[in-house]
Amino acid sequence: MHGIAGMIARRLGQLVPVAIVATFVVFSLVFLMPGDPAIIIAGEYATPERIAEIRHLHGFDQPMLIQYVNWLWKVLHFDLGTSLYSSEEVARLIVDRLPHTILLVVYALILGAAVGIPLGILAATEQGSTLDKIITTTASLGVAIPNFWLGIILVTFFALTWRIFPATGATPFWQDPVEAIYYATLPAIALSTGVVAVLARQVRSALLEVLGSQYIRTLRAKGLSSGAILWKHGLRNVAATMLTITGLQVNRLFSSAVILEAVFAVPGVGSLISYSALNKDIPVVQGIALMLVIMVILTNLLVDVLNAILDPRVAAST
Amino acid sequence: MRNGSGRMLPNITRRAMLAGTAALGGSLLLPAQVRAQAAQPVKGGTLRVAMPFNPAALDPLTGRNNPDFNSLFAIYDALMDFDPNTLELKPGLAKSWEFTDPTTLVLELVEGVEFHDGEPFNAEAVVFHLDRCTSYARSNVKSDVASIDKVEATGPYQVSIKLKNPDASLPAALSDRAGCIVSPKSVKEAADGNVDRNPVGTGPFKFVEWRDNDLIKVERNTNYWGDEPYLDAIEFRIINELNTASRAVTAGQADLALNLAAQQIAVARRDSNVVPEAAPSLIYYTSFLNYKDGPLADVKVRQAMNWALNREDLNRVLMLGLGQGHCSMFPTGFWANDPETENYYTHDLDRAKKLLAEAGHPNGVEIETWTWPDQAAVQRQEVISSQLAQAGIRLKVTPAPPAQAMQNFLTDKKGHQLLSPTGGLPDPSITYDRQFSGNAYRNAGGIELPGFRELMDASLSTFDQESRKKVMYDLQRFVLENALHLPQYLSAGMTVRTPKVHEFVFGLLNRPKFHKVWLEA
Amino acid sequence: MTDTDVTTIPAARTAPTRAAPPAPARFGFWAWMRSDKRAAVSLAYLLLLVATAILAPYVAPYPPNEQNLLDLLMPPSEAHWLGTDDLGRDTLSRLMHGSYNALYAAFLAVGIGVTIGVPVGVFIGFVGGWVDELISRVIDGILAFPPLVLAVAVTGALGIGLTNAMIAVGFAFAPVIARTMRAQTLVVKNALYVEAAQGFGGSRAHLIVRHILPNAIQPVIVEVTLMLAVALLAEAGLSFLSLGVQPPESSWGGMLARAYHYVEVAPAQMFAPGLAILFTALAFNALGESIRVLLDPTIKRR
């Protein structure tokens, strides 16, 4: 187990520099964006004096590096600041909105795995057949389809025409889990197509590789049933691949969630970050960036730990 | 191409709808109140409102956008009340007011009013509030009360406001943000005097909670100084996407949806269970022009642009006929709108081309234009560009998010015009001042043409309503003759509600008051 | 934004377990086409698309920006095979003109990704040491961030528009390509040093250009083809957020964004641009998969 503990320590150690790099990159991008948030803060009541007043009030007139260091200093004291436009604390904003995005992502992962893995197994065991071809083609479709387009089509049919699901909106999970899942179903389906596609393909090819290997041939020769081979040996080896892929999908899913949240009017962090980025609400963007980076790194770490438990050789190399 | 059943209108109906025939437009322009209401008000119920915008703040001084108002008047009363359809001022927390001389406004306050936190409302509270308007660092309403010199409590329920210069628009300003009295106790007890998220006023409803970008809840103020409101509570649900907000009403998850666009009204009309309403509004769509430098410094070019627009088409396509396609800054029927100059510019391509040629651009001219990047703004820009191109005026468009576009055009003076909606202000003087005065932020060129200042000052120092109206007519003519901007069309205040909601009026300013609203059981 | 094919990425994250020897590429073009029908269809479709992109001004039935304010949101008819949009413009013509922007967008983004990613990846793989460590951390930092969000931020910084949006997407691609190149460079470098120890000789630059690049590039070719599909989808996404193409130009993503604005009034307008994106992405993917199979000598030829 020393290998795993060492790996965890190493990766957590990497977390800090990576987080600093990521947040600095984001900060400079948003900072360098032309545009003056003071104008937006002044709103309908903008006058040149008021705008100058606001700039001074928020310290916009200071050099970029100083503003970044200020932010970093506050973060180290667990203060993520307040949004420029809504005066709400950034931490509060994230805590209120993140669960919606996480629900979508987790839901999509579960759906994707529940559909993709069986499809992959089926395709591998029926390799070469029509079923295999259909599954492979569907997998290709899943990666090529624009998620939000699929989402809109789902809404048009399943929500507007046949009123099976609600068209848009979301309920917080802690408030009413059943309703939350009900609302999240259509967007999760739209979000999951990529996961289904990738998992189906990867599970299929990994399984084929394993099933065709010498080791399995030996087992077969010894008289083990196909079912036993599949379950005990085939899937065990494939599990590592599945985990890695699932972990990698998280980042991608957060990405797609940005647009899907816009389509389905889900008040998650995805919709918040694009609005905030474009309007230079720097505290919010920085806060979300930091949180996303931490989450993605921790998710990857979790995946790698699980992998290492399944296959100790992996711990040594990551 | 086949698609979902039942959701597509047959061709003719859709064509008619999109062509904006009178049958559509006419009946919708009546204010809701005018229709006969036979039922008796019922006490009780929670009104569920869907609105697309999260307020910037619930402190009337630090908020900044028109839609913030959806919930403000539930929590706060203003010094003056106003008729939602004419903007005529009525007594509010000030039971009467008088200009004892052109620079002194005396208010007599209502007695026996308490703030939600139990503090008494009196002259002292008003003085504290108005001082805060002028001196609080985060106050956005300083320009509204810029004319105030000194505020004094000249009696327990009497306030005297001394002005630096005559300002006939001040009472109207006091019916708006600046006049929404905030409890001094709440300000003194708040950290940094920040009550953005903990509003305490004297209004018919008390603040309960605000989950950011999700929900604002208010409940009946049983201690209200006027008639108690009928509703038990109001839940303002913030739904950022317009279709979703409207659909919440059709699906029965909300009773009322505010700040919608023409598409939602068109869709809601297919459903006989909901009542879509589109009423005249003070918001208008125009372009801010830089008439100091660049090709637009020549009045003939500006006039040519105005002649090249086909405003009826703009209204038909962009508002689906629900707005008003003329060149005034105010809707037809509004007191400050001169019906004679309302259609000063009509669609006349020949005249446009002739003026351009006279201005020295026989082969057309290129105008650098800023616009916002959202789909609605882009669509507006496409139609306008196409119309202007027919007269040889080519727009070179750069889309940018509002912060950038405004900085580039209004602060850095780059480019020649910025397409933008504006308006929605309680007094016409304020509207002219905000857009055309020399020091106005939206006046990119920063200059005033000769004659403007006299008219502007006259509008502020004329107190007799009839005479003031004439000054407004003169101002309107001045703006149009000199083509100080490129007015496109007037918006409409668009809402969808269930028939169970009674007495709801969005009004010209789109600042709803829920005091008299009631829900059928 | 969907991920590129994922098999190359685990390979980069764990130690590569087998070398990627140079592929013989003796398999002729027509033989390839015959053996893989999907690739053949995809290639034909893409060629047709390129032709449409070039010939659209001559072949499209109407000018793409011609507004017809009396015929808004018409369903398909004889005059307009795919109907009209919210300003009365012919959808088919806009679709055809949009194909140019679609291809431009995809190739620009991938081009930028390759231009930045390949040299960086080869460089750090070759040089190793603390330079490698440092830049790999930076790459990790950028990759930890959801790609579309990064693209949104970069587009905002550069200014809204199709070119800038696709440059932003290219920046998001670059780290991924760099990683792959680095991994392959490491593999090839190790194999080469063995040969060098046997007296191969030659300067470092010579090594890079003549030996590392050609061998390391093969997985990138596959990755790049797949990225074309991702870039297309990214353009759709960014235009949907109103950050991509700006009028009066048409792009498929922009058409989708506008159609969504009217989705309840006229849902049919969503289909044409969406299907165009789907088919083109499918074609890129099928081609990429086929190239991968082609270049992998361990897969038996049928």
Residue B435 scores a pLDDT above 90:
yes
**Shortest CB distance from B244 goes to which of A86, A169, A280?**
A169
Say whether C270 sits in a helix, a strand or coil. helix
CA distance A61 to A72: 18
- Whose tokens are 């932020």? That residue is B441
Quote the longest CA-to-CA distance of chain A.
87
Local structure of residue A81 (DSSP, 8 states): -
Which range among B94-103, C6-15, C138-147 shows the weakest confidence by mean pLDDT? C6-15
* pLDDT over 50 at B15, yes or no: no
pLDDT grade, residue B115 (50/70/90)?
very high
Task: Report whether C113 contacts C143 (CB < 8 A).
Answer: no
Distance of CA B457 to the CA centre of its chain: 23
Give the minimum alpha-carbon distance from C277 to chain A in angstroms, rounded to a whole number. Answer: 8
In this prediction, the answer to ipTM > 0.85 reads: no
Question: C283 in helix, strand or coil?
Answer: helix
- Chain C closest CA to B3's CA: distance in Å? 7
Which pair of structure tokens corresponds to residue B484? 């100080």
Q: For residues C176 and A170, which has the higher predicted lDDT (pLDDT)?
A: C176
Considering only CA atoms, which of B65, B115, B87 is closest in space to residue B422? Answer: B65
Distance between CA A272 and CA A289 in Å, rounded? 11
Structure tokens that stand for B21 in this block: 């025939």
pLDDT of residue B30: 43
- Give the whole-angstrom CA distance, residue A11 versus residue A301: 7
Predicted confidence (pLDDT) per residue in B38-57, tens digit: 678 999 999 999 998 888 88
Please report the pLDDT score of residue B339 as a whole number.
Answer: 94
With b meaning 16 or more CB within 10 Å and e meaning fewer, what string describes C117-155?
bbebbbbbbbeeeeebeebbebbbbbbbbbbbbbbbbbb
Pairwise pLDDT comparison (C206 vs B361), residue with the higher score: B361
Which residues from B are below 8 Å from A267, CB to CB?
Answer: 213-214, 238, 240
Q: Are B39 and B503 in contact (CB under 8 A)?
A: no
Which chain C residues are Cβ-neighbours of B7 within 8 angstroms?
Answer: 264, 267
Residue A254 C-alpha, separation from nearest chain B C-alpha, in angstroms: 20
From B266, B373, B383, residue closest to C242, measured CB to CB: B373
Mutation for testing the A interface, residue in B9, B141, B247, B433 having most A CBs under 10 Å: B247
Contacts of B242 in chain C (CB under 8 A): none
Kindly report which listed range (A305-314, B23-32, B432-441, C200-209) carries the lowest average pLDDT score.
B23-32
Distance from CA of B450 to the nearest CA of A (A): 22
The enclosing H or E element of B518 equals: strand B518-519
- Residue C195's DSSP bridge partners are none
Residue B23 in tokens: 């049958």
- With 50 as the cut, is the pLDDT of residue C5 above it? no
Contact B2, C84 (CB under 8 A): no
Lowest-confidence range among A154-163, B351-360, B409-418? A154-163
Torsion of CA B163, B169, B175, B177, to 10 degrees: -70
| Greater pLDDT, C70 or C46 | C46
Report how far residue B331's alpha carbon sits from residue B281's, in angstroms, rounded to the nearest whole number.
7
Q: What's the pLDDT at A246?
A: 77
Q: Position of tokens 């036979």?
A: B38
**8 A C-beta contact, residue B200 and residue B207:** yes
Question: Quick check: B1 and C83 CB within 8 A?
Answer: yes
Annotate A63-92 with b (16+ C-beta within 10 A) or e (fewer).
eeeebbeebeeebeeeebbbbbbbbbbbeb
Spatial distance between the Cα atoms of B103 and C65, rounded to a whole number of angstroms: 57
The chain-wide mean pLDDT, for chain A, equals 80
Q: Which chain A residues are closer than 8 Å to C187 by Cβ?
A: none
**Sequential DSSP letters for B399-429:** E--HHHHHIIIIIS--SSEEEEEEE--SSHH
What would the two tokens of residue B346 be? Answer: 């009509």
Burial class (CB in 10 A: 0-12, 13-18, 19+), B75: buried
The predicted model gives A76-103 an average pLDDT of 85
Q: Name chain B's partners: 3 or more CB pairs within 8 A.
A: A, C
Distance, CA of A113 to CA of A119 (rounded, Å): 9
Chain segment B317-339, per-residue pLDDT in tens: 999 999 999 999 999 999 999 99
Residues of C with CB under 8 A from a CB of B: 65, 67, 69-70, 72-76, 82-83, 86-87, 156, 159-161, 242-243, 246-248, 257-258, 260-268, 271
pLDDT at C145: 77
How far apart CA B504 and CA B514 sit, in angstroms, is 7
Longest dimension (CA), chain C: 79
- Written as one letter, the residue type at C53 is A
Question: How far apart are alpha carbons B271 and B8 in whole angstroms?
Answer: 12
Of C141, C157, C263, the CB nearest to A32: C157
Residue C7 has pLDDT above 50, yes or no: no
CA distance C149 to C202: 44
Question: Which has more pLDDT, B354 or C261?
Answer: B354
Q: Is A265 on the interface with C (CB under 8 A)?
A: no
Global pTM?
0.83
| Closest by CA position to B56, among listed B43, B69, B38, B40 | B69
Which of A238-242, A265-269, B505-509 is the least confident region? A238-242
pLDDT, tens digit, 9 for 90 and up, residues B479-497: 999 999 999 999 999 999 9
The pLDDT value given to residue B305: 95
Q: Is the peptide bond before B229 cis (omega within 30 degrees of 0)?
A: no
Report the C-alpha gap between B232 and B255 in whole angstroms: 14
Flag whether pLDDT at C4 surpasses 60: no
- Provide the shortest C-alpha distance from residue C69 to chain B (in Å): 7
Shortest alpha-carbon distance between residue B370 and chain C (Å): 12
> Residue B255: is it exposed, middle or buried by C-beta count within 10 angstroms (0-12/13-18/19+)?
buried
Average pLDDT over residues C185-206: 66
Helices (H), C159-241: 162-197, 204-206, 213-240
pLDDT at B18 over 50: no
- C window 110-169, beta carbon within 8 A of A: 137-138, 140-150, 152-154, 156-157, 159
C133 against C144, higher pLDDT = C133
The answer to whether the Cβ–Cβ distance between A41 and B64 falls below 8 Å is yes
- From the list B313, B375, B385, the residue facing C258 with the nearest CB is B375
B462 secondary structure, DSSP code: -
State the average pLDDT over residues B62-86.
90
Q: Return the CA Rg of chain B.
A: 23
Residue B518, token pair as written in the block: 């009631």
Is residue B476 pLDDT above 90, yes or no? Answer: yes
Please report which confidence band the pLDDT of residue B454 belongs to, taking 50, 70 and 90 as the band edges: very high
Nearest CA in chain B to A163: B251
Q: Are C102 and C252 in contact (CB under 8 A)?
A: yes
Encoded tokens for B86? 């004419």
Instruction: Give per-residue pLDDT as tens, A6-37.
Output: 878 877 887 788 788 878 887 887 787 777 77
Is the pLDDT reported for residue B21 higher than 70? no
Q: How far apart are CA C173 and CA A25, in angstroms?
A: 16
Q: Beta strand B501-502 with B518-519: parallel, antiparallel or unpaired?
A: antiparallel
A39 contacts B194? CB cut-off 8 A: no
